[in-house]
Structure 1
Amino acid sequence: MYRILIVDDEPMIRKGLQKLVEQSELPIESLRSAENGVAAMQRIQEERPDFLFTDIRMPKMDGLELCRQVAEMDADIQVVVISGFSDFEYAQKCVSFGVKEYLLKPVNIKGFQGVLEKLVLTKSKVSSETFVAVTKLEQWASRMELGVWMLQEAELNALLDEIRSELREYKLKLNRVCDILQEIHTLLHQRLNARDVYLMQGELALVGTSNEEETWLRFACAVRGHLEELRIRRKGKLKDPVEEAKRYMESHLAEEVSLEEVADHIGLNASYFSQLFKQSTQETFVQYRTRRRMEKAKKLLEQPQWRITDISGEVGYADHPHFTKTFKKYAGCLPSEYRQQMGIRS
């Protein structure tokens, strides 16, 4: 099954190319289009295509720049440049970005089919060179399931290190690593739910990861999440840990509560809680706490009976100048200026 992205600023050309792909009888997982390079990069971040067909001259971001950015991603995306005869010399500059196939406008059926066949052949060759046996993935998933089910955190961490080390030896492209980790996680999820004791939650979202470190962090966080979920369920605590953490932080905004303290309160490992919190809120623990403190400060500033010096302490800042500086960075003005904007005299 192949994922294909067509990029051209002319709607009729996009539709024509889509029709040619549909007529090719190629097994298609997804067939999408974009009107320029900017939109194309957004589509690529959402889902990495196997084959990318792009025009040269487009508004916002042209095909040359799109090819350059795709090359920098180190993704296993095969790119085909589509150009008019007058742009052909310009299109050849893309060769430095790994583009090996060109199509001249107007695109004919025979030429398109020939290029498509080359892409499929190259894709098959690359896949065979970076093949990781399914039995290997199943073995990893089986060992991982045991570590999670028995709450063997040390053994699980050692297995994660082992998998990462072994996969590195394959020298895989990032998108191939994502596919493999996604498959391992799916197998793990299926095995845990097959025990028919708890319905395990949690999904692995690797779409949009820009580097190997981020990819592994998300994968490890998701796997450890299953272990932590089991630990919580077996203690009879069914509350969402992130929401529980938020509630605890909200009731302690005036105090200097640490990440470790909050993690301990909800019964999670501090390192895992930190990863889980950022994955769930898209903010670090400190960023979230600061934002909630500043939002509370705004509400208090809108009430005349509160003195600004008292507000700083109420939202956890014993050092008033630090509060003032933080508030200005967050709101774009000093607390006194914010209050003046509300028509309140300090």
Structure 2
Amino acid sequence: MLSMVIVDDEDIIREGLRDFVDWSVMGIRITGEAGNGREALQKIRELKPDILLTDVVMPGMNGLELIQVIREEAHPVEIVVLSAFENFQYIKSALKYDAVDYLVKPFNQIELEQVMDKVVLQVKRDKLIAEFIPEQTLAAGGRTREGRISQEIVKLIERRYMEKLSIQDIANEICLSINHMASVFKKETGDTVVDYLTKVRMMHAKRMLRDPSYKIYEIADGTGYADANYFAKVFKKYSGLSPKEYRDQWS
């Protein structure tokens, strides 16, 4: 279960979200709630939730101020913003602080589930990323330009590892030269971009190999390799086993 804190200064909205939504079916458990930004910040610091669902228009510390402090303190929490339509400018500002998505009040159950499914997927991706790059590296680095660039590269690779993604594609996406990008990423993470891309692909390949319904060529294609034989060579070099030998361990 992923943990979540709900923040809204309107008791009826906060209580409705808490009591009338079956969060467990989404894999979420509410671990805290708050009626304003200052109270919410304390909850974030103490409870370290995976997800924050917050209103933006609140007395005292508003939602945007809360999100800004959360990002400055580098809390690894995914944020969903609640706002009335007439306050859409607040939503645009929140997205600049890497809020994952937003919900415009009033919203229905389907809209809520669609947004939360997206957020749950992002949290799971972040946890997979953390297996390769220590969280403190990303958290500390996120406060510098080089750290933010590295985070963007990591997120881009996790989002598009299944494509025929080249190093030039990544450099183009973040608007840097290949050499500059490679230098920054190596300095911040200790990995080359190529090595990190391979790590992510191999991690997902292992996950798919444990499912016998996938053919080897489907796994190759699903991890960005057009040639199944080349995929097998890369996999053996990375893991010490051929894809078939790795699969046989799980049968």
TM-score normalised to the size of structure 1? Answer: 0.38
Q: Is the 8 A contact 1:18 1:31 kept in 2?
A: no
Structure 2 unpaired stretches of 5+: 141-251
Please name the residue that 2:16 is paired with.
Answer: 16
Question: In structure 2, the residue corresponding to 1:110 is in which secondary structure?
Answer: helix
Instruction: Please state if 1:171 is matched with 2:137.
Output: yes
Aligned counterparts of 1:113 and 1:129: Cα–Cα separation in 2: 24
Q: Which residue of 1 aligns with 2:174?
A: none
CA-CA distance at 1:72 after TM superposition: 0.7
Name the CA distance, whole Å, in 2 between partners of 1:131 and 1:110.
Answer: 32
AA aligned to 1:27 is G
Instruction: Give SS of 2:26's match.
Output: coil
1:50 aligns with 2:50: yes
The number of residues matched between the two structures is: 140
The aligned residue for residue 35 of structure 2 is 35
Q: One-letter code of the match for 1:59? A: P
Shift in Å, 1:104: 0.5
| 1:25 corresponding residue in structure 2 | 25
Match in the other structure for 2:115? 115
Contact 2:75 2:139 (8 Å CA) reproduced: yes
Task: Give the distance between the partners of 1:46 and 1:23, measured in 2 at CA.
Answer: 21
With over 3 angstroms needed to count, the CA separation of the structure-2 counterparts of 1:20 and 1:72, relative to structure 1, is farther
Amino acid paired to 1:19: D
Code of the residue aligned with 1:7 in structure 2: it is: V
Of structures 1 and 2, the one with the larger relative CO (CA 8 A, separation 6+) is: 2
Aligned residue number for residue 84 of structure 2: 84
CA-atom RMSD in angstroms: 2.2
Larger Rg: 1
SS of equivalent to 1:130: helix
> Residue 126 and residue 5 in structure 1: after superposition, are their counterparts in 2 closer, same or farther (change >3 A)?
same
> Shift of residue 167 of structure 1?
4.7
Give 3-state SS (helix, strand or coil) of 1:99's partner.
Answer: coil
Q: Which residue of 2 aligns with 1:140?
A: none
Cα distance change, pair 107–173 in 1 and its aligned pair in 2 (3 A): same
The superposition leaves residues 253-272 of structure 1 with CA deviations (integer Å, 9 ceiling, x where unpaired) of xxxxxxxxxxxxxxxxxxxx
Give the counterpart letter for 2:2 in structure 1.
Answer: Y
Query: Offset at 1:103?
Result: 0.2
Change (3 A) 1:130 1:167: closer
What does residue 64 of structure 2 align with? 64
Among all aligned residue pairs of Structure 1 and Structure 2, give the percentage whose two residues are the same amino acid: 35
Change (3 A) 1:4 1:21: farther
Q: Following TM superposition, by how much is the alpha carbon of 1:107 offset from its aligned partner in structure 2, in angstroms?
A: 2.2
Deviations 1:288-341 (A, max 9, x none): xxxxxxxxxxxxxxxxxxxxxxxxxxxxxxxxxxxxxxxxxxxxxxxxxxxxxx
Partner Cα distance (1:80, 1:63) in 2: 11
Q: Provide the rounded CA distance (Å) in 2 between the counterparts of 1:22 and 1:115.
A: 15
Change (3 A) 1:20 1:173: farther
Residues 29-70 of structure 1 deviation map (CA, whole Å, 9 limit, x = unaligned): 543110000100111111111110111111111111011111
Question: Does the residue aligned with 1:25 lie in a helix, a strand or coil?
Answer: helix
The residue type paired with residue 50 of structure 1 is D
In 2 relative to 1, CA 20–123 (structure 1 residues): closer, same or farther, beyond 3 Å? farther
Q: How is 1:104-183 mapped onto 2 (pairs within 5 angstroms)?
A: 104-131=104-131, 167=134, 171-173=137-139
d(CA) in 1 for partners of 2:93, 2:134: 34
Q: How does 1:296-307 map to 2 (within 5 A)?
A: none
2:93 maps to 93
Q: Contact 1:38–1:61 at 8 Å: present in 2 too?
A: yes
Counterpart of 2:208 in structure 1 is none
| 1:234 aligned partner | none
Q: Structure 1 residues 30, 89: CA separation in 2 closer, same or farther (over 3 Å shift)?
A: closer
Shift of 1:96: 2.0
Cα distance in 2 for residues equivalent to 1:7 and 1:41: 10
User: 2:29 & 2:109 partners in 1: Cα distance?
Assistant: 21
TM-score, normalised to structure 2's length?
Answer: 0.51
**Which residues of structure 1 form unaligned runs of 5+?**
133-165, 175-346
Partner of 1:300: none
Measured after TM superposition, the shift of residue 74 of structure 1 is 1.2
1:23 deviates by: 4.4
SS where residue 91 of structure 2 aligns? helix
Name the structure 2 match of 1:250. none
Question: Contact (CA 8 Å) 2:26, 2:117: kept in 1 or not?
Answer: no
Contact 1:24 1:113 survives alignment (8 Å): no
SS of corresponding position for 1:70: helix
